[in-house]
Amino acid sequence: MLLCDIGNSFAHFCDGKRVWREEPDSFLEKYLDKKVYFINVNEDFKKSLIKAKNWIDLEKYTDFDTNYKGMGIDRKVLCIAVEDGVAVDAGSAITVDLMEKGVHKGGFIIPGFKRIEESYSLISKRLRFKLDFDIDLNNIPQNTKSAISYGAVKPVVLAIQDFAKNKKIYLTGGDGEKILPFLNNAEYDEKLIFKGMKKIIKEKLC
């Protein structure tokens, strides 16, 4: 079974074991004749997907219990994987959502770390540093580089921990692993979104 999560920059595939990334220009032709279960948030891509006759859009089969308005399908599927706990996708944006017994209770969005890093450099060239995720957030920073890494990471970590309270935190996305050491009761799962997709397939298509 081939699963595909199409984002704005890349498509991520999973064959059940391995996860890999494909460029948006080439992946459709490459897997056109395969049976692929997919979700897609890329508006520009919707038309191209019509010709993929063997591709199955899981958005049609997704029931999601929430009062929240304006949630993308990728965020919904991630929450479906979690069912009870806090789902955090740390990518170009950081989405943080609370699930209780399969019901979505709401969530929030923080700019992703690459964007935050870029923001500093746009404020002043003296603030242009690569974020250091090895920083000790219990020490008060004593130079600009530490002041920036602390200022980028600590607010995000505190907001997630405060939101989660004692619930388990499920991290995914490119930067999810980087903040794992700073959070209590958290785990990182690269395949989290694909778990949600499999659950939908199992409940609706098997």
Half-sphere CA count of 196, side-chain side, radius 13 A = 30
Cβ contacts of 121 within 8 Å, gap of 6 or more: 127, 128
34: left (phi over 0), alpha (psi -120 to 50) or beta: beta
102: contact with its own copies by CB under 8 A: no
Tokens, residue 201: 């397939």
103 is a site residue for its own copies (CB under 8 A)? no
User: Cα–chain-centroid distance for residue 21?
Assistant: 14
Q: How far is the CB of 2 from its own copies (least distance, A)?
A: 27
Site for its own copies in 39-98 (CB under 8 A): 67-70, 92-94, 96, 98
**φ/ψ bin of 83: left (φ > 0), alpha (ψ from -120 to 50), beta (otherwise):** left
Residue carrying the six token digits 């199955």 = 56
8 Å CB contact between 47 and 67: no
Minimal distance, residue 55 CB to its own copies, in Å? 24
Q: If binding means CB under 8 A, how many residues of this protein chain bind its own copies?
A: 46
Among 58, 82, 90, 152, binds its own copies (CB under 8 A): 152
Site string for its own copies, 177-206 (x = CB under 8 A): ------------------------------
Output 142 or 166, the one with its CB closest to its own copies.
142
Residue 74 bears catalytic tag? yes
Residues lying near its own copies in the complex (CB under 8 A)? 8, 67-70, 92-94, 96, 98, 105-112, 115-116, 118-120, 122-124, 126-127, 140-144, 146-148, 150-152, 154-156, 158-159, 162-163
